[in-house]
A and B are shown apart, each in its own frame.
Chain A
Amino acid sequence: MKTPPITLEQWRREAPQQRAKSAKVVAALGPIRRDKPRDPVEARFLRSIGTPERLIGPEA
């Protein structure tokens, strides 16, 4: 199935509305902390660029 292309300008324009749709759910989720094991290559890379540990999660 083909869908019309989305421009980045369009994405940026619609992003606030998109965030608003999930605002209540996100607020109710509490702290976001990855519990899914992370590939060691990715974990090393993400640490090297300063990603917070809570988003890197445990190493596989």
Chain B
Amino acid sequence: MERTFEVVALVEEVAAPLGIHPVVVGGMAVYFWTAREEFVTYDIDVVMEVPRELDEHLAALGFSRVADGRHWRLEDTDVLLEAPGAQVDRDAVIAEIALPSGRSAKVLSRVDVLLDRLDEFQATGHQIVGQQVLVLIAGLSTDEEAVLDARAAARRVGVILKTMRRLADDLESGRAHPESDELHEIARAALRAEYSPRS
């Protein structure tokens, strides 16, 4: 993980003068906040815009852009960077990681990672995303719970959050793990509740 964040910190060094600050999101952010290796893969998702000038800086660092336009491979290494979007949410909280090298890297906060995963799970019902939601919920502090509650309704993930919290509690109490069909139904029901016209 240290190497991953050092790579992002190097990118930050060349991007910051352009006003661009890469933020680690996705699976690596889930790993950072859960310390759980069960889900982690070593591709790096960052949110940042990549104008031509930054692309040139990345090339100077040794990155080559893949033909799909949104992945960069650091040549002769096992580093793959993906920049899937240009901006994090306006209300997002970004945490800073101070690295032994003296550099720093940015990662989306635990609450924001969870809000994003809730949103994705509600939209897709993917089991792996639902499992990450459950693990992230289990690791929340009391303060984070309060922030999450305050922000979930605005993101239209209040219903799914309530359901997944209950499921996390039930799992801790010994219930069997939910099958894929059950998770899809949970997601569909929450989506209907959030987006159906109110009577």
Contact between chains at B100 and A18 (CB < 8 Å): no
- Tell me which of B15-23, B38-46, B51-59 binds A: B38-46
Q: Number of contacting residues on B, CB 8 A? A: 50
Q: How many A-B residue pairs have CB under 8 A?
A: 116
| 22 A-B contacts (beta carbon < 8 Å) | A7-B97, A8-B5, A8-B100, A11-B32, A18-B35, A19-B34, A19-B36, A21-B139, A22-B34, A22-B36, A24-B171, A24-B172, A25-B137, A26-B135, A32-B128, A35-B180, A36-B128, A39-B82, A41-B68, A42-B82, A45-B43, A49-B78
Chain B residues with CB below 8 A from A15, complex form: 35
Chain B residues with CB below 8 A from A39, complex form: 68, 71, 82
Minimum distance in angstroms from A56 CB to a CB of chain B: 7
> What DSSP secondary structure best describes chain B's contact surface?
mixed
Excluding A3-B109, A28-B174, 12 further A-B contacts by CB distance (< 8 Å) are A3-B93, A3-B94, A18-B33, A22-B134, A28-B171, A32-B131, A35-B126, A35-B127, A35-B128, A36-B129, A39-B71, A45-B43
* Chain A, 8-34, CB within 8 A of any chain B CB: 8-9, 11, 14-16, 18-19, 21-22, 24-26, 28-30, 32-34
B interface residues with partner A (beta carbon < 8 Å): 1-2, 5, 32-36, 38-43, 66, 68, 71, 73, 78, 80, 82, 93-100, 104, 109, 124, 126-129, 131, 134-135, 137-139, 168, 171-172, 174-177, 180
Contact between chains at B78 and A48 (CB < 8 Å): yes
Chain A residues with CB below 8 A from B131, complex form: 29, 32
> What DSSP secondary structure best describes chain A's contact surface?
helix
Contact between chains at A25 and B172 (CB < 8 Å): yes
User: Closest chain B residue to A48 by CB distance?
Assistant: B78
Contact between chains at B95 and A25 (CB < 8 Å): no
Contact between chains at A5 and B96 (CB < 8 Å): yes
